A and B are shown apart, each in its own frame.
Chain A
């Protein structure tokens, strides 16, 4: 084995700033606009609306596909007359009751599951059994048990929210690092106080994901339930609005109802949940 070849040492002076070509340069206006996600998505929506309008005009059959313009004016008319907001309000009220009840039940079940082993077994068995069961399949049974009132809808809503939220929350709790648990116990926390002050915030990304899934399930289930059995206690929701419009062959109104469902979904996803995310997990560095 020979020695490595000897080479002269090299030491270089640091260059001055002006020697470099580009250190930092602003992007062109187009590049900057193209970087805005909302602008790109809005442009896509405009293209889709145009395609819809053109296809509907070419088809020229308002009973099958009304034009985009007709749909928007039907929607605007229904909003201005107050019918659509009232129907949406009815749906949202029922939804809120079912969602909150489902989340509370899920919370109770998960706390039971992480504090006792039998609770874990119970939660795992129940979610394995009921999670694959579409909530709407329970509606006929719910109608027999709870009658035509709001009770049966709330029952199926709870079913649609409970398992998704419980599953995610439980997975989140189990994912909390051993170190964080030990830190909490070091402060003298245990039992429910440890859950509330350490586990829930630490598992918040999973909990929020569960809430989002639960919301989406509940929203779909609600509209489907309303379509199937319509009016509850004299006032109908959005599903009933669509059902009625279809019976009267007011197809632009059917589309307006669908549009409202989409709009509410978008607002909840992009405003409500996005704000919660920005204020919590993104600020805490738990999500990029």
Chain B
């Protein structure tokens, strides 16, 4: 990994406590979480369910505001959702069903005011091509497979050329083979454009594979347990396996909590 100590962080999360209300409880999702993401980072939030990683991502997306601490993007505080932070969700219904693949991407570009007309069309096709869906540009989402829908969502997010791409377990609902292929494709896309991504997952293997930096969260409420460097992508597979084992031990040290999180 190149040394990036000198550059200012792109995303700075400082002492963030998040709370949300259910019908009869006030739940603290995360407690005083700190981390910062640099440009071109593949930053992974990893933890068992209940560690508030998705809630944290929503807060970065601007869908909820912290009760304590602050989230800064390029030096300014995040207050509302916006096209500079594009979300890719886990759910397949994140595409607008009344628009074709191409229209979905174009709609995002035009509605957010990024591009208009021909320029939007061209940008859309450029990114649809990047995810190998050119043949399906005029297909409606309901005719696509789950993996293809997620590829469209990724193309849509990337076409907006946001400061940071927020991915909320985007491959969790896919079958194992498709998931593996999507992970490889995502890394290939990163090699091409070096986008910054904040990636949420509960899979240790996925975190080690996708990320260059991994934030480990412990549950109830979510707190930072560790912030680790992942292994280089061309490293010995045994190094990755060793890191996975190390993370596994760190996360499941407290056997008591494990039962509640299965």
Contact = CB atoms under 8 A, between A and B. Distances in A.
B75 interface: no
A182 B108 contact: no
A284 B143 CA distance: 9
A156 interface: no
B86 A186 contact: yes
Given A284-B140, A284-B142, A285-B142, A187 B94 contact: no
Contacts of B195: none
B52 interface: no
B86 A180 contact: no
Contacts of A186: 61, 81-83, 85-87
B93 interface: yes
A179 B85 CA distance: 15
Interface residues of B, number: 25
Contact of B98 (A177, A182, A189, A201): A201
A285 B98 CA distance: 8
Contacts of A182: 61, 63, 81, 87, 89
A288 to B, nearest CB: 10
Nearest to A285: B142
Interface string B81-116: 111011101010110111000000001100111000
B63 A177 contact: no
Contacts of B211: none
A280 interface: yes
A202 interface: yes
A242 to B, nearest CB: 42
A172 B61 CA distance: 26
A180 B94 contact: yes
B85 to A, nearest CB: 8
Contacts of A179: 89, 91, 93-94
B111 A183 contact: no
Nearest to B87: A186
A198 interface: yes
B248 to A, nearest CB: 28
A185 B149 CA distance: 20
Contacts of A177: 91, 93
A187 B143 CA distance: 24
A239 B87 CA distance: 57
A198 B96 contact: yes
B96 A202 contact: yes
B98 A187 contact: no
A283 interface: yes
A41 B98 CA distance: 32
B140 A285 contact: yes
A198 B98 CA distance: 10
Contacts of B219: none
A255 interface: no
Nearest to A198: B96
Contacts of B94: 179-180, 183
A204 B96 CA distance: 12
Nearest to B97: A284
- Residue among B82, B91, B98, B112 with the most chain A CB within 10 A? B98
B141 interface: yes
B140 A188 contact: no
Interface string A261-288: 0000000000000000000100111100
A187 B96 contact: no
A160 to B, nearest CB: 29
B168 to A, nearest CB: 10
Contacts of B82: 186, 188
Contacts of B83: 186-188
Contacts of B61: 182, 186
Given A186-B61, A186-B81, A189-B111, A286 B97 contact: yes
Contacts of B107: 187
A139 B140 CA distance: 47
A197 B113 CA distance: 14
A187 B112 contact: yes
A283 B63 contact: no
Interface of A: 177, 179-180, 182-183, 185-189, 197-198, 201-202, 204, 280, 283-286
6 contacts: A187-B112, A188-B81, A188-B112, A189-B111, A202-B97, A285-B140
- Which 5 A/B pairs are nearest by Cβ-Cβ distance? A285-B142, A185-B81, A187-B111, A187-B112, A201-B98
Given A186-B81, A188-B112, 5 more contacts: A182-B81, A186-B61, A188-B83, A284-B98, A284-B142
